[in-house]
């Protein structure tokens, strides 16, 4: 009996010793040095980029160029797959898709971001920007940083501001030269309080429809008119469904490029650097070319002869500016003093 006890004791001690050594409980476990620089390298990443416009537009061209540059700069380890024309989501749906990591990059129009934070209404104020230089100063400065900060709480990581151009007005009812000509028209706008108010102030009836339903609602006569850049008016064929185009430049259309912050933080530093390098190059290219792209679209619209074009005079423009003054008064409060002061400074110095 004593022999059995001895054998069992030796067995228990042996098992405990093996267990103790095998799992290294004795020695202090130094955490393995995680080298963020290398972690994840040589793993292929596929980033899905969703947007709602046609490929032959400033945003469409920029997205394709970005995809190519990222592939080159990461030697194929990061692939950007672009989904244009709202093939995955409408503009508002993009935010949810990004948060669920179903897509990794989106570039909604500024007006779409106002739904998340009213500070973004500053970019929908009529005639807020006078020229391209002022736009660049805004987004490279305080306006750009304050606006990206305002949506960080939603997990949005702002990586660039992309340009399109100034918006024009089209409709099917009458030539529009002065603001009062818009009274009584139903007008499709993006879901921005400032845009809605802009048309309500003129006695019009603003209606919300997603971008890729605009052609249908125009051709069905559900709305009388809309506003957009020449690249969107041309690439989506709105000029074929509308009788009158007023070159008003009354609002600015640009895009905020976002990634999901949590996902962004998982990317190896090397790949983050390559993505930002590519994004910087594309943003610069877009700033230099978006004006000529829109001018090219105007030429094609003019040549088509399918729409009557009114080239707004300075006097008419001043009458529009005057009519839109209440919009500044109404929204400067929700936009906030800091942003309104910065916009005022840029407007005075341009
Ligand atoms: C729109 O009117 O909804 C479009 O301008 C959206 C866009 O991304 O250009």
Q: What is the pLDDT of residues 164-193, one digit of tens each?
A: 999 999 999 999 999 999 999 999 999 999
pTM score: 0.88
* Average pLDDT score over residue span 98-112: 97
* Residue bearing the CA closest to ligand 1, atom 4: 211
* Digit-coded pLDDT (tens) for 198-229: 999 999 999 999 999 999 999 999 999 999 99
How do residues 312-339 score in pLDDT, each as one tens digit? Answer: 999 999 999 999 999 999 999 999 999 9
How much is the average pLDDT of 236-264? 97
- Taking the centre of ligand 1 as the mean of its atom positions, its distance from the CA of residue 142, in whole angstroms, is 25
pLDDT score of 43: 80
Mean pLDDT, rounded, of the chain: 91
Residue nearest to atom 7 of ligand 1 (CA): 109
The CA distance from 84 to 70, in Å, is 18
pLDDT in tens, 260-286: 999 999 999 999 999 999 999 999 999
Closest CA to 83 of 106, 99, 108: 106
Cβ-based neighbours of 326, under 8 Å, separated by 6 or more: 197, 201
**Residue range 38-79, pLDDT digits in tens:** 555 668 999 999 999 999 999 999 999 999 999 999 999 999
Task: Give the position, in ligand 1's atom list, of the atom nearest the Cα of 109.
Answer: 8
pLDDT of residue 21: 43
Question: What whole-number distance in Å separates Cα of residue 166 and Cα of residue 31?
Answer: 55
Residues 6 or more apart whose CB falls under 8 angstroms from that of 47 comprise 70, 78, 79, 80, 81, 104, 105
Q: Which residues line ligand 1 (CB under 6 A)?
A: 52-53, 59, 91, 109, 190, 211, 228, 232, 253
* Ligand 1 atom index nearest CA of 229: 5
42's tokens:
């040589």
Chain-centre distance of CA 236, in angstroms? Answer: 19
By most ligand atoms within 8 Å of CB, the mutation choice from 50, 53, 105, 227 for ligand 1 is 53
Weakest-pLDDT range from 21-30, 103-112, 243-252: 21-30
Nearest to 226 by CA among 187, 173, 200: 187
Q: Looking at residue 33, what is its pLDDT?
A: 47
Cα Dmax for the chain: 114
Per-residue pLDDT tens for 15-46?
555 444 444 344 444 444 445 555 556 689 99
Q: What is the mean pLDDT of residues 113-126?
A: 98
- How far does residue 42's CA lie from ligand 1's centre (Å)? 37
DSSP code, position 33: P
Beta carbons of 270 and 40 less than 8 angstroms apart: no
Residue 293 has pLDDT above 90, yes or no: yes
Probe ligand 1: pick from 253, 294, 297, max atoms within 8 Å of CB?
A: 253
Domains of the chain, by residue range, sit at 39-349
Q: 39-349 has which fold?
A: D-Maltodextrin-Binding Protein; domain 2 (3.40.190)
Tokens of 95: 């935010």
């Amino acid at each position: 009996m004593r022999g059995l006890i001895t054998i069992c004791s030796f067995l228990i001690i042996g098992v405990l010793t093996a267990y103790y050594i095998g799992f290294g409980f004795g020695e202090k476990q130094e955490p393995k040095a995680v080298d963020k620089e290398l972690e994840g390298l040589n793993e292929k990443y596929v980033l899905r980029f969703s947007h709602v416009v046609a490929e032959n537009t400033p945003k469409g061209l920029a997205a394709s160029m970005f995809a190519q540059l990222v592939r080159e700069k990461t030697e194929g380890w990061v692939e950007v797959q672009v989904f244009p024309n709202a093939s995955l989501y409408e503009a508002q749906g993009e935010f949810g898709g990004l948060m669920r990591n179903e897509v990794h990059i989106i570039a909604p129009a500024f007006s779409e971001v106002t739904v998340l934070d009213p500070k973004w209404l500053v970019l929908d104020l009529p005639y807020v920007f006078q020229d391209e230089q002022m736009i660049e100063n805004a987004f490279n400065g305080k306006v750009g940083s304050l606006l990206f900060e305002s949506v960080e709480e939603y997990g949005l990581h702002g990586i660039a501001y992309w340009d399109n151009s100034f918006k024009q007005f089209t409709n099917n009812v009458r030539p529009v030269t002065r603001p009062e000509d818009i009274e009584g028209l139903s007008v499709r706008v993006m879901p921005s309080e400032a845009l809605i108010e802009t048309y309500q102030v003129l006695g019009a009836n603003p209606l919300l429809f997603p971008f890729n339903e605009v052609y249908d609602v125009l051709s069905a006569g559900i709305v009388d008119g809309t506003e957009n850049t020449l690249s969107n008016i041309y690439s989506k064929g709105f000029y074929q469904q509308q009788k009158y185009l007023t070159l008003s430049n009354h609002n600015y259309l640009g895009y905020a490029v976002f990634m999901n912050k949590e996902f962004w933080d998982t990317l190896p530093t090397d790949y983050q650097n390559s993505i930002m390098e590519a994004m910087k190059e594309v943003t610069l290219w877009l700033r230099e070319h978006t004006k000529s792209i829109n001018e090219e679209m105007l030429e094609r619209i003019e040549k088509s002869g399918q729409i009557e074009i009114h080239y707004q005079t300075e006097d008419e423009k001043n009458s529009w500016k005057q009519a839109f003054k209440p919009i500044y008064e109404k929204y400067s409060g929700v936009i906030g003093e800091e942003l309104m002061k910065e916009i005022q400074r840029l407007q005075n110095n341009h």
